[in-house]
């Protein structure tokens, strides 16, 4: 079927925009992380430390999900000691980006390609939930609006199916339109 083939090619084309995950442990890694955020459509950012027991348990789950071939968002890990320098670089490279602030480790959030927080994500020890986060955006247009499966969990309480459109602002609020 010609239509099926075109849809397949379109999905593969969108996934070509997804770059391999990066772990920010030194200054030289920061530019790679910023590159992923700018490339978009969205980036899941994990903030962790090497001494945190929960982080040691959660990182392998995050790593596996970030290697998912169906991933539709960028994936970045930031070692906690690099967070201030990472935020400085984000502010310098992306006009209007928001500083990433955390209350503890591990912390995970999703930011748009302008470095603005879309939502916080619970760092749950459930591989299926993390894989779902990594594949929740089907298509994001040039304005950063998501068309398709954008699921805003616990904090935003919103689900949009593949027939709907969702615009999520930096406060985590969702405006839905359906076809």
- pLDDT tens, residue by residue, 139-156: 443 344 444 334 433 333
Q: How far apart are CA 106 and CA 47, in angstroms?
A: 6
Q: Which of 23-37, 120-134, 145-159, 164-178 has the highest mean pLDDT?
A: 23-37
Q: Which residues in the chain belong to E strands, given as ranges?
A: 22-24, 42-48, 74-79, 107-112, 117-121, 139-140, 146-147, 151-152, 158-159, 164-168, 174-178
Q: How many CB atoms lie within 10 A of CB 14?
A: 15
Higher pLDDT, 154 or 75: 75
Q: Is the overall model pTM greater than 0.85, yes or no? A: no
For residue 45, name the pLDDT band (cuts at 50, 70, 90): very high
């Amino acid at each position: 079927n010609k239509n099926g083939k075109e849809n397949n090619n379109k999905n593969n084309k969108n996934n070509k925009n997804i770059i391999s995950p990066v772990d920010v442990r030194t200054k030289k890694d920061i530019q790679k992380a910023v590159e992923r955020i700018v490339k978009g459509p969205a980036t899941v950012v994990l903030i962790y430390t090497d001494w945190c027991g929960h982080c040691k348990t959660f990182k392998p789950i995050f790593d596996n999900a970030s290697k998912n071939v169906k991933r539709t968002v960028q994936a970045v890990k930031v070692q906690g000691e690099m967070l201030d320098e990472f935020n400085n670089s984000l502010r310098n490279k992306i006009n209007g980006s928001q500083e990433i602030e955390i209350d503890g480790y591990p912390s995970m959030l999703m930011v748009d390609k302008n470095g603005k927080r879309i939502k916080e994500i619970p760092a749950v020890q459930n591989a299926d939930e993390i894989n779902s986060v990594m594949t929740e955006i089907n298509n994001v247009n040039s304005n950063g609006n998501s068309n398709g499966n954008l699921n805003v969990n616990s904090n935003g309480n919103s689900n949009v199916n593949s027939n709907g459109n969702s615009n999520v602002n930096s406060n985590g609020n969702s405006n839905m339109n359906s076809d």
